[in-house]
Amino acid sequence: MNFSAGMDIRGNRKGRATPRGRQASDGDHAALRAIVQPDGRQLDFGRRDLLIEYLHLINDAKGYLPAPLLTALSEVMRLPLAEVFETATFYAHFKVVDVDEVQPAPITLRVCDSLSCVMAGADALADRLDNLSPDVRVERAPCMGQCDRAPCAVYGKNVIAPAAVDTVLMAHVQKAVAPVLPNYKGLAAYRAQGGYSVLAKLRSGTLTREALVAEIEAAGLRGMGGAGFPTARKWKALLEQPKPRLLAVNGDEGEPGTLKDRWFLETDPHGFLEGMLIAAHLIEAETAYIYLRDEYPALHLVIAEELKALKAAGLLGDVKIELRRGAGAYICGEESAMLESIEGKRGLPRQKPPFPFQVGLWGRPTLINNVETLYWVPQIADKGAAWWQSHGRNGGKGLRSYSVSGRVRNPGVKLAPAGVTITELIEEYCGGMLPGHKFTAYLPGGASGGILPASLNDIPLDFGQLEKYGCFIGSAAVIVLSNQDEVKDAALNLMKFFRHESCGQCTPCRVGTEKAADLMAQPKWDEPLLRDLAQVMRDASICGLGQAAPNPLLSVLERFK
Ligand SMILES: Cc1cc2nc3c(=O)[nH]c(=O)nc-3n(C[C@H](O)[C@H](O)[C@H](O)COP(=O)(O)O)c2cc1C
Ligand code: SF4
């Protein structure tokens, strides 16, 4: 692409975009203003990064995105219409509707079609709900982080889990579209237990930055978002970068089977918020962005409320905090795609290097940490590295929050020593298998982490232990299968998920997931072709989605002959 004087380095147009083709009418502008400025408040339409937030406001108000309002938005934001449309159409939670198209039903009912929910009967549920009402648009949607209460359906913003036809009907009759708030530990209770004391020590200098980093390093804390990168090493790398620096918290939690961030935020949001403020102080972040998935609407309210409480209590300090809302795209959990999304664009992963700690949000050094990683920071700083290291089993060190779903008696988030085996997890933490189910296979790390047979039941579920089996622990989303499940069906479900979630930027992933899903839907798998395809996807995909997408397929070929 040739960059003209009117374009910035990413090829975005600077200054006023001249509307060609479509133009918004005065009525469209008035309708837009009524939605985004209901009280006439001044908004900074020059902030391109708020595009997705504005799209959310329209989508919330109308239930979809009417094309004329997008035209009006592009005009007030001085963005080319193409940029507004390409962003709006990228995200699954937005539905763009043109003037000549049928206006969709105002309420969306999403029924999960990811593995744990399908195992619990989500397909049949969705079929039965398809024609619920002309007011309701029924969509199949990927994992909503409720796998322990499968099957899940979301009516408006009301999460129903487990869902059945009658519970969804009840919500429909009562027009219960609002999220239900969890009963969580608030600021007063958190402070009464000594909360925010680590932050206070750090801000006063009683705890130095060096001592904090050294403690986290001695503990050996690793990133809980999936990649397991040593947290202290990432922090140190950031500290060597020039200021201004930024912090971006990854709360996208889209990996099927993963629900731990939800659990931490639903029970103890200040544990996370203190960790975030500690990290922000450590790197002297100017702004901290919290990127939280749209599938957790109640948590958006909780975090917004608790940020207000922190502000009122004078605990926020100098750092600016921005709470951002995902829009139903798994790829936005990939860190560089998340940065694009925070900048208000499509979630297309960036080529690395440079890495986000060098060139992150708006080209600035950016620290990216997962919600849970930050949750453990004040705990380790307070109780000491030795406390963290005192946990662990089978050679593992520290604690892990395993998100367990599938055929176990008591699914949910299990805080357990890092390195437990699947047998220990099922028997000691989950009350055994469900009656009538015999353990046959398991996913140790969500959709991307591969599938193992029950015979390999003594592997420590920890970083670095599963790779020799072609698997990885990732975010520790453990899905347990039984003799009532077909492992090939499970692998196909996962490949369809990747097909749906591929951002489409690179051919090996876009075409590879499509082709693989088609081939895997055949009664007899073409093994040489599938292996060839898997190799290309692993070798040539830009990001971890395409590189890991063949893992479940290869697991089946290797271990479930
Ligand atoms: C396809 C893909 C999806 C990801 N999704 C998430 C996610 O939802 N949440 C998360 O924290 N990390 C996710 N990650 C990992 C992030 O890229 C990144 O490693 C992590 O946020 C860094 O934080 P941590 O070091 O504290 O774990 C994903 C990675 C890939 C490749
Ligand atoms: S691997 Fe897939 S998700 Fe990642 S950049 Fe390529 S097309 Fe997008």
**Other CB atoms within 10 A of residue 377 CB:** 28
pLDDT band at 374 (very low <50, low <70, confident <90, very high): very high
- The pTM of the full predicted model, rounded to 2 decimals, is 0.95
The residue whose C-alpha atom lies closest to atom 8 belonging to ligand 2 is: 503
Measured from the Cα of 258, ligand 1's closest atom is 8
**543 Cβ inside 6 Å of ligand 1:** yes
**16 pLDDT more than 70:** no
Segment 469-528, tens digit of pLDDT: 999 999 999 999 999 999 999 999 999 999 999 999 999 999 999 999 999 999 999 999
Name the band, by pLDDT with cuts 50, 70 and 90, for residue 1.
Answer: very low
Q: Tell me the mean pLDDT in the region 236-251.
A: 98
- Ligand 1, pocket-test mutation among 233, 238, 250, most atoms within 8 A of CB: 250
pLDDT of the residue at 561: 80
Of 401, 381, 404, residue with least CA distance to 391? 401
Residue 253 alpha carbon to ligand 2 centre in Å: 17
Q: What's the rounded mean pLDDT across residues 148-168? A: 98
Q: Is the pLDDT of residue 4 over 70?
A: no
Q: Which is the closest atom of ligand 2 to the Cα of 510?
A: 7
Select the more confidently predicted residue: 168 or 37: 168
Pocket lining for ligand 2, CB < 6 angstroms: 331, 349, 502-506, 509-510, 541-543, 545-546
Pair of tokens at residue 532: 């060839």
DSSP per-residue letters across 280-313: HHHTTEEEEEEEE-TT-HHHHHHHHHHHHHHHHT
More confident residue, 372 or 99: 372
Residues 118-133 as b or e (16 or more Cβ within 10 Å = b): bbbebbebbeebeebe
Ligand in closest contact with the CA of 376 = 1
Query: What average pLDDT does the segment 185-191 reach?
Result: 98
Of all protein residues, the one whose alpha carbon is nearest to atom 4 of ligand 2 is 543
Cα distance from N-terminal residue to C-terminal residue, the chain: 48
Ligand nearest to the CA of 547: 2
pLDDT for 42:
81
Distances (CA, A) of 83 to 71, 205, 217, 410: 11, 46, 43, 46
Ligand 2 center–CA 537 separation, angstroms: 10
Q: Residues 6 or more apart from 155 whose CB is under 8 A from it?
A: 107, 109, 136, 168, 171, 172, 176, 177
pLDDT band at 198 (very low <50, low <70, confident <90, very high): very high
State pLDDT tens for residues 426-480: 999 999 999 999 999 999 999 999 999 999 999 999 999 999 999 999 999 999 9
Task: Give the pLDDT of residue 60.
Answer: 95
Q: 334: CA distance to ligand 1 center in Å?
A: 5
Mean model confidence pLDDT for the chain: 95
Q: What is the pLDDT of residues 295-346, one digit of tens each?
A: 999 999 999 999 999 999 999 999 999 999 999 999 999 999 999 999 999 9
Residue nearest to atom 2 of ligand 1 (CA): 334
* Ligand (nearest to CA of 507): 2
> What is the mean predicted confidence (pLDDT) over 142-147?
98
> What's the confidence (pLDDT) of residue 20?
60
Q: Is 227 in the pocket of ligand 1 (CB under 6 A)?
A: yes
pLDDT over threshold 50, residue 7 = no
How close is the Cα of 547 to the center of ligand 2, in Å? 8
pLDDT at 18 over 70: no
Distance CA 534, CA 218 (A): 38
How far apart (Å, rounded) are the C-alpha atoms in residues 368 and 378?
A: 17
Is the distance from the beta carbon of residue 250 to the nearest atom of ligand 1 less than 6 Å? yes
User: pLDDT tens digit string along 32-68?
Assistant: 999 999 887 788 899 999 999 999 999 999 999 999 9
pLDDT category of residue 406 using cuts at 50, 70 and 90: very high
**DSSP SS3 for 64:** coil
SS3 178: coil
